[in-house]
Amino acid sequence: MQLWSHGGQLLRHVAGHELTVHDLAFDVEERLLVSASKDGTARVWDVASAQCLFVHDFDAGYVFSVTLSCSNLMAVSLRDANQIRFVQLGRAALVKQLAVDWPGKVRFAPSQCGKPQDVYLSTYDAWLCCFQVQ
């Protein structure tokens, strides 16, 4: 994985994922970056050092999308398992699991849904639904 500046300058190369990285998301303070990969993992990175802090291995195939809430809850969409899973960041403790027909992008999006812990689900930029995780 490569990190680039807005101006197009390569900042650093980050090793870790074995297959294609499909999605990235920052935490609200932009200190952490999470990545979703076809290798079945979501990785948590320290932005300043580019060090991998934690690997979430979902044993469910393709991790299509990933996002972080302001309370360090991570949502991932798992393409091969047709699931959205919610886990506590860094502990891999499963909070909730949702079966879906075709998992698309996941985002915590209070502006669309109304509450900070609501989840916005989309497929190819089409708004699907909002729901409470807890």
DSSP-assigned letters across all residues of 67-94: EE-TTSEEEEEETTTTEEEEEETTT--E
Question: Does residue 12 belong to any structural domain of this protein?
Answer: no
The reported pLDDT for the residue numbered 129 is 55
Q: For residue 4, is it within any domain?
A: no
Non-local CB neighbours of 76 within 8 Å, separated by 6+ positions: 36, 42, 56, 58, 63, 64, 65, 66, 84, 85, 87, 106
**Is residue 33, in this structure, part of any structural domain at all?**
yes
Spatial contact of 49 and 32, defined as CB atoms under 8 Å apart: no
* The pLDDT value given to residue 60: 77
1 part of a folded domain:
no
Q: What is the domain-level CATH number for residue 63?
A: 2.130.10.10
- Which pair of structure tokens corresponds to residue 80? 């091969």
CA nearest neighbour of 30 among 7, 54, 47, 9: 47
Residue 8 placed within a domain: no
The domain in which residue 94 lies consists of 17-132
Asked if the structure places residue 75 within a domain, the reply is yes
Instruction: Give the model confidence (pLDDT) of 88-116 as tens digits.
Output: 877 778 888 888 777 778 877 655 445 55
